Amino acid sequence: MSQIVYKRAETDEELRQILNLQHANIKLSLASEAMKTEGFVSVKHTFDVLKRMNSACPHIIVKHEEKVIGYALCMLNAFRNDVPTLIPMFDYMDGIIASKNLSELHYLIMGQTCIDKAYRKQGIFKKLYHFFKDELKSDFDAVVTEVNSKNIRSLQAHLAVGFNTLDVHTEAGEDWELIIWKWI
């Protein structure tokens, strides 16, 4: 069996494969039972934004036989206005970070993470995040993200890796958990 490789995204083809995996797991295209058992992603990125984000801080990907089977998107604060659906998250997060006295942290946003359905329950998610941390801990103190409260599978996986809940809030009729993984 060929090896699974964890690395930073380097090519347009890898970025296209990220978008293909994202499309296959986007909330709008999944049945409610699949969302409950398999999890889902909530945001659809454009190739242009994904590529610009990758140029600023290369995404973390998992590959098997040249196929991207998982990803963790690196999103710097500079891109906060480039994905309109995430602007409310950034605005809300700013207030929570300040109220929790975390403003001094140099943190990165987890733009989204996903593992191909055929490769789940093999420890890849956890290894992906630990590779993410190893690659980025010299530049950042923490990673922050938001998980839809209905996405129980994703939330449990993030908490198992080491994330802690900062706050729970409602945005556009959906409940969200703002979570952080501190590396210092």
pLDDT tens digits for range 6-56: 999 999 999 999 999 988 777 556 455 654 555 556 667 889 999 999 999
pLDDT at position 149 is 87
Q: Is the dihedral of CA 111, 117, 118, 119 positive or negative?
A: positive
Q: What pTM value is reported for the model?
A: 0.88
Please state, in angstroms and as integers, the Cα–Cα distance from residue 117 to each residue in 26, 92, 121, 124, 162, following that order.
12, 31, 9, 11, 22
For the ranges 36-40, 57-61, 83-87, 126-130, the lowest mean pLDDT is seen at: 36-40
For the ranges 7-16, 64-73, 78-87, the lowest mean pLDDT is seen at: 78-87
CATH number of the domain where residue 107 is located: 3.40.630.30
What's the mean pLDDT in 162-174?
90
Q: Reply yes or no on whether the pLDDT at 133 is more than 80.
A: yes
With cut-offs at 50, 70 and 90, classify the pLDDT of residue 121.
Answer: confident
Residue 47 structural domain: 4-182
**Alpha-carbon torsion, ordered 121, 123, 129, 134, to 10 deg:** -170
- Name the domain count of the chain: 1
| Alpha helix ranges (H) inside the chain | 12-25, 32-38, 47-56, 87-99, 124-136, 152-161
pLDDT at position 8 is 98
Q: What span, in angstroms and rounded, lies between the C-alpha atoms of 20 and 87? A: 24
For the ranges 68-77, 95-104, 141-150, the lowest mean pLDDT is seen at: 95-104
pLDDT at position 30 is 46
